[in-house]
Chains A and B, each alone.
Chain A
Amino acid sequence: MSKQKLGNLASALASGLVFGMGMAVSGMTNTERVQGFLDLTGQWDPTLAFVMGAGLLVTFIGYTFILKNPAPLFADTFSIPTRRDIDKALIFGAVLFGVGWGLVGYCPGPAIAGLSYGYSATLLFVPMMIIGLLLAKPLAKFL
């Protein structure tokens, strides 16, 4: 295996590790806290605004510097989404996602990061989420 390919794979694993630790440290794996953040008219818990704020700050500054380079360290090019059109699938999908997020308090990252805690709710949520993800492509053509 080439050095670039090995570095590329190691980067994915390392980024995932840091990401997962961030999920657990931030409190995003705590569904009660997430629902508390989404409960604007109740006992609103602003904690998760700090997750979003710190995450955006670091990413925005980091991207600004990184994207000045001609290429990433272990790949030939940056693979950045280029679409700028607003379509029905984007809005409809975001609505469905938001409803599902509110119902349980899990979005995809925290659900995977929380799998090792062995809760039956998480162990059921993740396969359901994967089924939903795999259904998205065949169902998209009906939109």
Chain B
Amino acid sequence: MHPFVYASIGGALVGVAAVMMMGLKGRIAGVSGILSGSFSETSHERLWRVLFILGVFLGGAIPPLVSSDFKPPEPDASTLLIVAGGLLVGLGTGLGSGCTSGHGICGISRLSPRSILATCTFMAAGFACVFLLRHGFGA
């Protein structure tokens, strides 16, 4: 099937997950915030976050078992880039109170001005970063 079809189905599943989270639990499905809270919170508040993250991990494992179309290639980046990228993604989503799911999907759907601005900002920074990575620095 065409990648656009898979992308639309996958995106709709993310939407269904966000709607389930709100309708059943009354929460935003923001991965960075939930991941952060699964370390800092205690008891029930920690447990549901750990379960959500476990769900994301297990859910990600299922589609490649069904079709090899869903098995991505290994990320192509040096160890230095992986370490820097991981630290920046963690620090940035922590400081900015959200990532692609919390700001990009849930926040924009609520028409939150903070989320709209954050999403435009991290998209622009992502575009600029890949531009420099692939077309700058004599690449």
Which of A16, A67, A78 has most chain B Cβ within 10 Å?
Answer: A16
Chain B binding surface, main DSSP class: helix
Q: Is the CB of A130 within 8 A of B52?
A: no
Q: Is the CB of A62 within 8 A of B96?
A: no
Smallest beta-carbon distance A9→chain B, Å: 5
Q: Is the CB of A113 within 8 A of B59?
A: yes
Task: Determine which of A15, A16, A21, A67 lies in contact with B63 in the assembled complex, contact meaning CB atoms within 8 Å.
Answer: A21
**Which B residues are in CB contact (< 8 Å) with A16?**
17, 51-59
Provide the A1-36 mask, 1 if CB < 8 A to any CB of B, else 0.
000010111011111111111111111111111010
Interface residues of B, count at CB 8 A: 107
Give 3 nearest A-B pairs by CB, closest first: A16-B55, A132-B90, A20-B59
Interface residues of B (CB under 8 A from A): 3-4, 6-29, 31-32, 35-36, 39-40, 44, 47-49, 51-64, 70-77, 79, 81-97, 99-101, 103-110, 112-114, 117-119, 121-131, 133-135
Interface residues of A (CB under 8 A from B): 5, 7-9, 11-33, 35, 38-42, 47-60, 62-63, 66-67, 69, 71-75, 77-81, 83-86, 89-117, 119-122, 124-137, 139-140, 143
List 18 other contacts, CB 8 Å, given A29-B70, A57-B12, A136-B95. Answer: A7-B24, A22-B12, A24-B59, A27-B6, A27-B10, A30-B72, A33-B72, A51-B8, A58-B15, A67-B22, A94-B96, A94-B122, A98-B127, A121-B74, A125-B85, A125-B89, A130-B35, A134-B94
